[in-house]
Structure 1
């Protein structure tokens, strides 16, 4: 319930509860799985009454070299560096981009919205521009769409669509659209046909495009943009759009 109210992650909430910091209807509760009436329960953390946080929906242009996590055991910079100085409270990334990847990354304190976007069944397509180390022909592009065996033994790796954007003498840029979100899917797909990735930039999630958002900059989504990504999940209390260039 604490997570659904946008106050913290499930893991952090469990730590607060076990530590005895949370009271429900005046009683200390130390079991994170304790049944609680979501509509009527009075919840206090460290003696302070808490209500659901205002819903926040952000788009970030993730720079290369940042890890998509709140804390990194190796001490590497994370995507939260780009949100330094904001006063939004707890926010979680919606999906991931690996350290070497760039582009559109969403954040929110709305778990239902995030789950709808990340779901392979309900989530929108994701579009990437990928620079590769060779010039592909039409046969190779179609092979990436029909699928190649997964070296790890999973379902075949494939893209929904792959088109050639432009080509130079030694490398090319592809537009790759995915309708599922497997770990490092594009890199693994291309590696399976001996193609190296030079750059990988996510440029769109469903109808939401990265556009002219500067590297490392963020902006709040409008209510219409948030609703278009997950129509059944957006709280009507979404904040008005603003951002940091």
Structure 2
């Protein structure tokens, strides 16, 4: 007996409405949840109060303050993050965040693409294109990130090679793609370290495992996007070539 062909699945992808708003690049997921609870969000014309209210992808119409999510202009920025700022929209300890650098700019809400810890500085990307950001931070892509790091000793070539070979720290394999000596003084030196992955505090942990302390850590490039002479605390828009060189941009 011949079996009947199976029917195509009619399952519809559903996500919580706060996530849908965030993925549209309008705001953070936390802020979207606040908007829902404040009664500013409707699904198919009916107000919703639950941030996890299910939305059928491609079928339901979501509005915020009566305006549909719709197609929004995508923005891609490079920021020279100063030391001392945290890379987050909100901080429970009331520390200054990178958003202080964008105050008064009139820009839409933007999310950091990856992170730089509070003590680190240099190139930080921001965008309201979540798919583009996810592609850049995806470890499978292996986009290189270049750092200039001041350390409290003068490492020899053997030690630099050990940074490339790597170590296991807290169960994680940590290694640099490359490590070279830029310049040295009598007590400290500047290194250029290139990573192709993004583990938490990777450079600091890798150097500490080899007895080196970090005095300064500055990210100077992400793929083909360089920090250049961008002043500390200042930002600029990426060129179309820089955007597409990192990952394909999206629309809508």
TM-score by length of structure 2 reads: 0.86
- The residue aligned with 2:91 is 72
**Match among 204, 211, 219 for residue 202 of structure 1:** 219
- CA shift for structure 1 position 223: 1.5
Alignment of 1:188-227 (within 5 A): 188-227=205-244
- CA shift for structure 1 position 171: 0.8
Q: How many residues align?
A: 232
- The residue aligned with 1:108 is 127
TM-score by length of structure 1 reads: 0.89
Q: Unmatched 5+ residue regions in structure 2?
A: 1-19
Please say if residues 116 and 123 of structure 1, whose CA atoms lie closer than 8 Å, have aligned partners that are also in contact. no
Larger Rg: 2
What are the superposed Cα offsets for residues 159-193 of structure 1, whole Å, 9 maximum, x if unpaired? Answer: 11101111111111110000110111000110111
- The residue aligned with 2:17 is none
- Higher mean C-alpha deviation, range 60-69 or range 20-29: 20-29
- The residue aligned with 2:54 is 34
Secondary structure, aligned partner of 1:12: helix
Q: CA RMSD in A?
A: 1.7
* Structure 2 CA distance for aligned equivalents of residues 214 and 102 of structure 1: 12
* Structure 1 CA distance for aligned equivalents of residues 251 and 31 of structure 2: 26
- The residue aligned with 1:243 is none
Q: Unmatched 5+ residue regions in structure 1?
A: 238-245
- The residue aligned with 2:30 is 11
- CA shift for structure 1 position 156: 2.1
Please say if residues 71 and 251 of structure 2, whose CA atoms lie closer than 8 Å, have aligned partners that are also in contact. no
Summarize the Cα distance change of 1:11–1:236 in structure 2 as closer, same or farther, 3 Å threshold.
Answer: closer
